[in-house]
Structure 1
Amino acid sequence: MTFSLNTCRKWSRVVHRDLSFFFSGMLIIYAVSGIVMNHRDTINPHFSIERKEYTLTPLPTPAKEIGREEVMTILQPLGEAGNYTKHYAPKAGQLKVFLKGGSNLQVDTDTGAAVYESVKRRTVLSAMTRLHYNPGQWWTLFADTFAVGLILITLSGIVMLKGKKGIGGRGGWEFAAGIALPLLFLLFF
């Protein structure tokens, strides 16, 4: 069997197609979590945090003397009574209640102003983002295999097309632009 440019193109199509299908799921996961990681100042990938303000009737008991039963009464309308962990009064007239999962409630016992902060884990997005932090030795092996796969997909894509659409024509210009753009950002921004 002789090796020719046509044989190389034929095998590059096979490699390109099969590796593209194999790694496409991982590519989507990395792309979505990468976007979220780039915007961590506006999107928390691990938790969804919501703040709600309420007005309760002012509590007659001083904050430092409020017991668990009174706190449960306050939590009942929020549906959080079963998530109570502890409470304390950081200063006179203020009550802070801690709930399972990181949620909390702060109450001004004099005015009845309350702020409920609900914290919920983003299960899927958090797990996807965790992959960027290299969670273990097996993941390192897979990530390295993924990187090699991307290199093979790229190289097979470069040699797959011939003529004015391939690396000798429009494809070459696009390839050069794809290298130049990140270099410009590295050098000038």
Structure 2
Amino acid sequence: MTKRKTPFSFQIRIIHRYLGFFLAGIMFVYALSGIIMVYRNTDFLKTEVITEKKLAPNLSELDLAPIFKKGAKVIKQEGAVLYLRNGNYNQTTGVATIKKMQLPFVLDKMEKLHKANTSSPLYFLNIFFGVALLFFVFSAFWMYAPKMPVFKKGMYFAVGGVLLTIILLFI
């Protein structure tokens, strides 16, 4: 009895299917964090967190920049108190009140996962996920034989997706 060889396209379908099931959770996290990141320049879902820090007295606006970050521009000064966009600083006492808008803990962690770079151990997960998504892209073209109507229709959708992406990139 001769053993029949499984077609390559069938093997790709199996890998595609089980890799899809395996990555369903991480795809959910990336999708949700990607949607939330669209609103990162707004206060959507964020709450105000106020912290007080004891700093050295008589710091200049330049010295305050690393502490207040983007809100380090002095708006006004009343006596020894400098009022900044996201807090205030008392030049006499050195006490700084910093206001920061933060996402809830879980959403903040999801956003950090989405933005991980080589200085974070999470970047291995990002690379794995990116490679897996590339596999999904290319394996989709081996799911069906090129002679099948569903493959031809799928090619129209693929071209449409590429064109839509190119158009959106230049808007």
Normalised to the residue count of structure 2, the TM-score between the two structures is: 0.60
2:149 is aligned with what amino acid? K
Q: Do the aligned residues in 2 keep the contact of 1:12 with 1:160 (CA within 8 Å)?
A: yes
Q: Do the aligned residues in 2 keep the contact of 1:16 with 1:153 (CA within 8 Å)?
A: yes
Residue 148 of structure 1 aligns to a residue whose secondary structure is helix
Structure 2 residues without counterparts, runs of 5 or longer: 54-76, 80-85, 87-98
The aligned counterpart of 2:47 is 48
The aligned counterpart of 1:28 is 28
Greater per-residue helix proportion: 1
1:66-92 superposed Cα distances (whole Å, 9 cap, x missing partner): xxxxxxxxxxxxxxxxx9969xxx859
Q: Do the aligned residues in 2 keep the contact of 1:15 with 1:153 (CA within 8 Å)?
A: no
The aligned counterpart of 1:134 is 116
- Map of 1:177-188 to 2, 5 A cutoff? 177-186=160-169, 188=170
Q: Distance in 2 between matches of 1:91 and 1:138?
A: 45
Give the aligned CA root-mean-square deviation in angstroms: 3.4
The structure 1 segments of at least 4 consecutive aligned residues displaced by more than 3 Å after TM superposition are 41-45, 83-86, 117-121
What is the total number of aligned residue pairs between the two structures? 129
Q: Distance in 1 between matches of 2:129 and 2:135?
A: 10
Q: Do the aligned residues in 1 keep the contact of 2:43 with 2:101 (CA within 8 Å)?
A: no
1:25-54 superposed Cα distances (whole Å, 9 cap, x missing partner): 111111111111112233446x3249xxxx
The aligned counterpart of 1:144 is 127
- Map of 1:71-110 to 2, 5 A cutoff? none
Find 2:139's aligned residue among 137, 156, 161: 156
**Pair 1:172–1:151, CA change in 2 (3 A):** same
**Pair 1:10–1:122, CA change in 2 (3 A):** same
Residue 47 of structure 2 aligns to a residue whose secondary structure is strand
Q: Do the aligned residues in 2 keep the contact of 1:33 with 1:125 (CA within 8 Å)?
A: yes
Residue 138 of structure 1 aligns to a residue whose secondary structure is coil
**Pair 1:141–1:41, CA change in 2 (3 A):** closer
1:48 is aligned with what amino acid? T
Q: Distance in 1 between matches of 2:130 and 2:154?
A: 22
Q: Distance in 1 between matches of 2:51 and 2:7?
A: 68
Q: Distance in 1 between matches of 2:115 and 2:101?
A: 22
